[in-house]
Each structure stands twice: as C-alpha cells, then as structure tokens.
Amino acid sequence: MYKCGCGVKRFLGLSGRFQAVAPKNSKSEVLLGEAKRRELETLRRQRRFELWTLEGQNLIMQKLGHIQENIRKQANSIKKMKQDENPYVKDEISVLKKMKKELEELEKQILLAMVDDPFDSVAFSQTVKNRFIYAQSGEIYGGGAGLYDFGPLGSKLKNNVIREWKNVFVDGRPDVFEVDTTIMTPERVLQGSGHTEKFADLMVKEMSSGEFFRTDQLLSSQIEKEKQSSKYSAQELENDLLLVDSSDHSIIQSLLRKYFGEKNFSPPTNFKLMFSCKLGPDESGENIGFLRPETSQGVFSVFQRLLQHNNSKLPFSVAQVGTSFRNEIKASGGLLRCREFQMMELQHFHDPQAGMAQLSSRQRDQVLPVLSREAQISGGSIQAMSVKNILLSKMVSSPILVSYLVKTFDFLMKLGIDQSKIRFRQQLDHELAHYAKDCWDLEIMTSQGWVECGGLADRGSYDLKKHADASGANLMAERQLASPKQVKMYGIKIKSPKKFKKTPKVLSSVKNLNQTQIAKISESLSLSGSIEIEGVELKKSELVIKEEIKNVQVESFFPEVIEPSFGLGRILLALLEHSFQQREVDGRKFFTFPPSLLSNSVARLICEELSSLSVDYRVDTGGKTIGRKYSLNDEIGVPYGIVIDFDTFRYSPATVSIRDRDTLSQLRVNVKDAASFINQLSTQEITFAMAEEKYLFQEEFLDSPDQFELRENFKRATNGVKYSERDVGKLLASLADVAVQLGKPELLMHIHSFKREMN
C-alpha cells in the first residue's frame, strides 16, 4: 500500500552545529509570532464557520439590528428618567452599558468573520512560480493562455489529491470500477450526446478593440460594478443577474444596450467550445473527431460492457480521472479557466425504483453549508443543514445525490480545505445543463471570490436514451417484477439478409434494436411504407415484424445517473491558497498542507527503512545554510525536517533532530526510530505535541548529549509513557551502569532486587 508521508529534508554541508546559524529574529520572537498567527487563523476560521452554522450572515445582522433597537429604547428611557429625577437611573445605566458591550462583541465577531484572511496574492504567485508548483506552458516563448505545466512539487501534490479522491469515492467499494476511455472522441459520439449542438457559449465582439467576450462574464462584471452606484435599484440589478446566463439572444442584446449604452458590440453568437480535428487522411472532411469536453461520454458509450461486467446488476459506479479540453473564449484567471484540465468524475448508475443503502448516523447528522434555489431567489444566504433535514426538505432530487454531497465534504476536509469557505449551491433552472434534472455546484471561496470547483448532477436517464436513439444500441437494464404481467412484444428480422452483405451495419443495427425502437419502426412503416437504417432505405416488404402478447417476469428500463464531477486544477488552486501563510515576525512564506499530501525528503541513513514502509522520499545534499533550508522547506509546506548534524556521528547512539514547521520545536530521536516516527506522523497516528512527551527536545539533548538514552528514559517515565518488559530491562541496565559509575552499591542492590521481582 502506498503511503505518502510527511516531508523531511537532509541538511548537510554545515559549518558547525546548525544552532550557530541564527535568524534575524530570536527564536522566542519567532515562536510568539507563529503562535499569534495560528491563534488568529483558528479564530478567523471558527468565526466564518459560525456564520453559516448560525444560518448565515442574515441571522447575525438581524440580531445586531435587534440589539441596536433595544439600546435606542434604553437610552430614551434613561433620558426620561433623568428628566423625572428617578433614583433608579443608575441601575438602568449599568444595563445600557452591558447592552453596548454585547453589541461591541457581536460587531467584532461579524468583523472577524466578514473580513477575510490577509492574502498576499503577489507573494503567493511568486512562491508558486519560484518553486515551480505550476507555470504557464511555453513560458520561454511568451506562454500559452489557459495552458499550464506542473513541476515536481505540483505533480506530486496533484497525484496525492487524486489519491485522496480515490480513497473517498473508489477504494474499498467493490461496486465501483475504474476505467480509462479515449481522449479523442469520434464526432458521432458527441452528436449522439447533444454536445455538437449545445456545447457552446454566447460570445460578442467589441468592434472598436476587436476583443471577444463571453456575454455572461461581461454582463456579470458590469452589473457588480453598478452596485457601487445608485443608478439602478438593488432588486433590479439582482433580477438582471439572473438573466445573464440566458441563451435568448434578444435578452442578452437588451442587457448589453442597458449597461453599455452606445458601446458597439456585435450580435451574440454561439461559440463552439470543443476542439475539432481530422482523423486520418480524410479528404472528404467527414471523418472528424473532437478532444473530449468531459470524460463521461466515453463511459456512457460502453455502458453495455460495464453492465455485463457487473453481471447485469444495478447499482454500480464508474470512476475515471482524465484530461478534458474546452476552447475557452477568454482563458484567464490561472488554473480557474484552462483550455486543458484534469477531471475526477464518477457516474453512479441506479434503478430509480429501487431503494438505496441507508446512511450511517454520522452521515445523517453531518451538517453541510447549502445555498438552495429558493434561498437564492428570495435573497437568502447559506444555511447550515443536517443531512437528515436536507432529506426531509426534499430540496435535492435524489437521496443518492445527498450521499455524494456528504462524501464530497469528507473529501475536502481530508485535503485541508477551510470548511468555512465551502458551500453547495443549487443551480437555478436557467443554469441547468441540457442533461441535468438537478445540480449542486461545489463552490470554494478563493481570492477571486466563490469559484465553482465541481458539480454534483442528477443526469437522469438523458444520456443513455440519447445514445440509444442515436446508435440503435440497447442501453437498457432489466428489473424483476413482483408478479408476471402481459406485454406486447416485438420481433424483427430482414427477409433476405444476403441482399445486405455489402452493408453489414444494417444487419447488426436491426439485430440490436430494442422493443421501443421496433415499435417506432412498425408505426413508421404503417404510415410511410419505408424506413432508413444506417443510410439504407428498407421497404416494408423487406422486413418481417411480429407482434405477440407474452407473460414476462422482467421489464426493461433506462438506468438513471448521479454524477459527482470535480475539476482537479481548481481544487488544487483553492488548496494552495487556503494553505498559504506568511509569518509577520520573520517574513517567511510557507504552505500548511496536511502531511498526507506532501512529497518527502529524508536522509540516506534512514532511506532503506522508509522504503520498507512505502514512504516516498528524496535526498537533499545541497550546500545552503541550515536557516535557508528551513525557509525553503517551510515555503513549500514541508511540515517536518530530519536534520543530520555532527552530533549524529559524534555520540552513541546515533541520533537526528526532527523539526516541526509550525511550532519550530525540535526533538532528538534515535536514528533507528526516525523512520517509524516519521511514518506515525504522516499517518497521523501521533501528533508532534504527543511526541514531545516521549522524546527529548533539542535543547535538552545539547545539555548532555553523551547521556541521551538515560535522559530520554527518565523523561518517558516522568510523563507516564508505558514501557514493554524489554524497555524496562534496558532502563534498569542503564541505571545499574550509573550506580557503578557513582559508586553506590545500595542503589545497585535495589536495582537487582527489582529485576528479580520482575522475573
């Protein structure tokens, strides 16, 4: 089993002990600054989390207004009491002071929650670029818009995000199958799905500059700017915002005239978002393919084989991680809008009439931040709702979709995404894709506002029906009936198959027709006398269609699909931003990734044992100063560092120093224990704070490095650490050596007596 442990570094090439390389600020100042930063960060997250836990900002603002009104009434009452020379006025004044203090505390809470973390976008961009987490492709030639290369750190981080996704959605589930379908998709597949017709964005051209714009982005940006003026009412602006995604060209043109006046734009046109290409030396131009805009169509086109693989049983799920392409009109915003990107998608095929597995009590009690369609229309805000209440409200089209909302939230928590910056927003009716019955966008707050990082859609049976109609293939499943029923069954065959030897596709298409398709053909033949199959006209006299009434135990149906889909690049960007920190004391920049997401760098002396534990690693033997190495590794989020110094080889047993990024604490650990210690930290079996009770601090070690084992054993005994019999035996042997050195025969007798009692 692959484990990605916490990152550690080998620091060699030192001149003397690493303590001699002093930072500009003292260690105590840095520690105090780091503690303050962590305290403020924790408080910010807690306050933001409380906002949606208390059902959003509106509730707090209502409470604020209520207190302000009570203060006003109390002040008027005191004023009247003073005029009347009421002797109890002092008591009422003390009540007023308490109310004002309550108001002040609430205002602080709102300020902390609404004023976001101080985020230095310039420092963030420089760090990402300097450490080559990712960079624009073809950078030495000026770069390509919407195309990005990932460096060693970015690739490792991306792969580990994929691993966490598989851990939540795929691993340990025998009904989930992984596939890898082709990137290049034949035109007929996307014609069948409806993408060639509908997969487009409305675009306009600004005639004076020649620049192209997506109409929804152009209008949304302008309407947001208008909110700062008083030209339009707030309600009017909100109503217009709901129209910017309209596909009606006349509505878009009227909005452009309203908000841009005389500015000259071309009429809106549909811009196709798929990259097309020719497949092979095709002079006719008919053999066309597309780079896939999503991974799911490859899954739908092989549904028959997947159903057979699962012994024709439902439900089952299909998972796929792969590259998709969209020819964006304006590829800007870094990883937010790319022309090539990776998707993590899962299609859950199920029978809509069958029940689903019950959620656990933990899942039913899980609280999720949701922004429903009704809340958006009425001007409401995020609500904190338990899964139990979400199911009761029936705001989500399917309980299965709700279960995937829970899995998605768990996945984001494992990545270390700030839970106070997550929401599930239900798409409005006009936003829904042509295939969706319901869809909830996973949105994460970044420096660029709320960003859609995924979508959880109820696709119904739209895709399978479309592909069945377009291809003639049978993409239906069967369910057992409680009791037999009589149905009209059709059979079809060609009278003279030899006549169609040169067109074998006609024979295979007729053979694969399902009952619904045969019924339609029978109806068409009765009206027109002929039909067309695979471009060949067949007359009624060339076909034999039989109808009979049969008792059946099963019925055919199109399975429905729930699809959680995630953009890897966008989630990675949110993770990077939420993890980026900068210490005010020493100005160091670093990422606070969870240990499970990081690459590892370890010393040669413990490489072999780490390999046996399946912990990934690399060795750093660069000649930089130790302080510089600390800074560089903090910058990329490495939480722990193993330091080999001269004391490692000077004293026995050999020891190394293990440094914690967040607290700057260093523990001295036996080389033999270092690999297992790192493995325990990476798998979160222990925390660094727990380890501080077991191991010596670096400062304690330096006081008497030649008595490492004795002092370590004494510390463990003092902190009540449980020992094995072997550990106790070693401790007693060490104490016996000390008794001999000190010339204390009485102590030696007590030790031997204790050993006899143990045996």
Give residue 51's pLDDT.
Answer: 52
**Residue 165 reports pLDDT greater than 90:** yes
Concatenated DSSP letters of 608-627: HHHHHTTB----------HH
Cα separation of 429 and 723, whole Å?
A: 64
Q: What CATH number should be reported for the domain whose range is 201-272? A: 3.30.40.230
**40: confidence class by pLDDT, cuts 50, 70, 90:** low
Q: Is the pLDDT of residue 21 over 60?
A: no
Which of the pair, 178 or 75, is modelled with greater confidence? 178
Task: For Cα atoms 178, 183, 186, give the angle at the middle one, nearest 5 degrees.
Answer: 115
* pLDDT number for residue 457: 96
Q: Is the pLDDT of residue 53 over 80?
A: no
- Residue 6 has what pLDDT? 33
Return the pLDDT at 349: 97
Q: Is the pLDDT of residue 473 over 70?
A: yes
Out of 19-33, 44-58, 603-617, 705-719, least confident range? 19-33
pLDDT: which is higher, 518 or 712: 518
Task: Give residue 47's pLDDT.
Answer: 55
The reported pLDDT for the residue numbered 714 is 63
Q: How confident is the model at residue 604 (pLDDT cuts 50, 70, 90)?
A: very low
Q: Is the pLDDT of residue 322 over 90?
A: yes
Which pLDDT belongs to residue 318? 97
Q: What does the pLDDT read at residue 12?
A: 26
Q: Quote the pLDDT of residue 616.
A: 57
Model pLDDT, residue 739: 75
- Of residues 344 and 330, the one with the higher pLDDT is 344
Q: Concatenated DSSP letters for 690-751?
A: HHTTTSEEHHHHHH-GGGHHHHHHHHHHHTT----HHHHHHHHHHHHHHHHHHT-HHHHHHH
Kindly state the average pLDDT of the residues 161-165.
Answer: 94
604 in Cβ contact with 10 (< 8 Å): yes
238-252, 407-421, 445-459, 585-599: the lowest-pLDDT one:
585-599
Q: Using CA of residue 187, residue 193, residue 194, residue 198, what is the dihedral sign?
A: negative
* pLDDT computed for residue 340 by the predictor: 93
pLDDT in tens, 133-143: 999 999 899 88
The winner for highest mean pLDDT among 238-247, 402-411, 660-669, 732-741 is: 402-411
pLDDT score of 210? 80
pLDDT, tens only, 80-90: 888 888 888 88
Higher pLDDT, 75 or 131: 131
What backbone torsions phi and psi does residue 704 show, to the nearest 5 degrees?
A: -155, 75
Identify the DSSP state of 526. H
Cβ contact 15:694 at 8 Å: no
The 10 Å Cβ neighbour count of residue 486 is 9
pLDDT value at 328 more than 80: yes
What digits encode the pLDDT tens for the residues 106-135? Answer: 665 555 454 445 678 888 988 999 889 999
Instruction: Write down the pLDDT at residue 517.
Output: 81
pLDDT > 90? residue 418: no
pLDDT of 370 > 90? The answer is yes
Q: What is the pLDDT of residue 313?
A: 93
Q: How much is the pLDDT for 17?
A: 28
> Which pLDDT value is given to residue 588?
76
Token output for 473 = 């293939």
Confidence of residue 543 (pLDDT cuts 50, 70, 90): confident
pLDDT at 425 over 50: yes
Place 395 in a pLDDT band, splitting at 50, 70 and 90.
Answer: very high
Mean pLDDT for 408-415 is 93
Q: Three-class SS of residue 183?
A: coil
Q: What pLDDT is attached to residue 8?
A: 31
Say if residue 554's pLDDT is above 60.
Answer: yes
pLDDT greater at residue 306 or residue 144: 306
Q: Among 560, 13, 630, 55, which Cα is nearest to 314's?
A: 560
408 pLDDT exceeds 50? yes
Per-residue confidence band for 476, with pLDDT thresholds at 50, 70 and 90: very high
Residue 49 has pLDDT above 80, yes or no: no
Given pLDDT bands bounded at 50, 70 and 90, which one contains residue 15?
very low
At 14 the pLDDT is 26
Least Cα distance to 630 among 13, 16, 18, 124 occurs for 18
Q: What's the pLDDT at 118?
A: 65
> Quick one: which H or E segment has residue 242?
none
Tens digits of per-residue pLDDT, 607-644? Answer: 666 566 665 555 565 656 777 777 777 777 778 888 77
- pLDDT above 60 for 480: yes
Omega before residue 118 within 30° of 0, cis: no
Q: Give the pLDDT score at 614.
A: 63
CA distance 590 to 88: 58
**What is the rounded average pLDDT for all residues in the chain?**
79
Give me the mean pLDDT over the 685-714 stretch.
Answer: 76
Confidence of residue 62 (pLDDT cuts 50, 70, 90): low
Rounded average pLDDT over 652-657:
81
pLDDT-above-90 percentage for the chain: 24
End-to-end CA distance of the chain: 40
List the domain boundaries for the chain: 18-24+586-722, 39-114, 201-272, 482-557
Yes or no: domain 18-24+586-722 corresponds to CATH 3.20.20.110:
no
**CA distances from residue 80 to 76, 95, 145, 277, 744 in whole angstroms, order as listed:** 6, 15, 69, 83, 86
Q: Residue 409's pLDDT is what?
A: 95
Threshold 0.85, pTM exceeds: no
